[in-house]
């Protein structure tokens, strides 16, 4: 959402109302001002409010929050999927604690790896989608599809052009389906 309060502060800060008024207006209407003069404290509060709004509604914060959320979800998914793997060949003559220790040897690495991947997806997708929403000034299905395409291409960068094209197509299709299901 664009900041629409800029006109008020620029109008009020202007010393001479006739300098911004239409030159074809009569003198009676040139000095007409429905807005009261704002105090310096009010102007400072207005500036701080708009700065805070821009930071909170900005793409950087949205991407960072999505990255943190993705990392948390990745930790949970990594732990869950690691426990679903078939158990390695463990010597049954060992103590119970030693058997558990061997079966969960790669648990931490699996959680961190999955967390990192989910965080990447969250940061890239949320940042790109926020950029498209801001530039197109609407929130609709093409934003999700375009964001999915860019995200799939960026994440498949090491696979070369073919991998990027497949990543773009796959992630765009997935994003489009999810967006369609979430809207209805």
Least confident of 55-59, 108-112, 176-180: 55-59
Q: Mind listing the pLDDT tens digit for each residue in 90-131?
A: 777 888 888 888 878 888 888 999 999 999 999 999 999 999
Helix locations, 57-159, DSSP H: 59-83, 96-103, 107-136, 141-155
d(CA 174, CA 181): 11
| Domain ranges for the chain | 6-55, 59-120, 140-184
pTM (whole model) above 0.75: no
pLDDT at 57 over 50: yes
CA distance 4 to 117: 38
């Amino acid at each position: 959402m664009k900041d629409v309060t800029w006109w008020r502060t620029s109008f009020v800060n202007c010393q001479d109302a006739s300098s911004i008024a239409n030159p074809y207006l009569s003198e009676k209407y040139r000095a007409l001002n429905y807005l009261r003069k704002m105090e310096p404290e009010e102007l400072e509060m207005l500036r701080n409010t708009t700065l805070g709004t821009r930071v909170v509604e900005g793409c950087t914060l949205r991407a960072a929050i999505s990255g943190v959320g993705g990392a948390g979800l990745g930790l949970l998914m990594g732990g869950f999927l690691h426990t679903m793997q078939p158990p390695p060949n463990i010597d049954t003559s060992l103590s119970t604690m030693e058997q558990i220790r061997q079966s969960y040897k790669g648990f931490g690495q699996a959680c961190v790896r999955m967390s990192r991947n989910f965080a990447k997806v969250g940061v890239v997708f949320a940042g790109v989608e926020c950029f498209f929403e801001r530039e197109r000034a609407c929130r609709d299905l093409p934003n999700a599809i375009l964001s999915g395409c860019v995200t799939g291409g960026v994440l498949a960068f090491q696979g070369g052009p073919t991998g990027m094209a497949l990543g773009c197509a796959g992630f765009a299709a997935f994003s489009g389906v999810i967006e369609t299901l979430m809207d209805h």
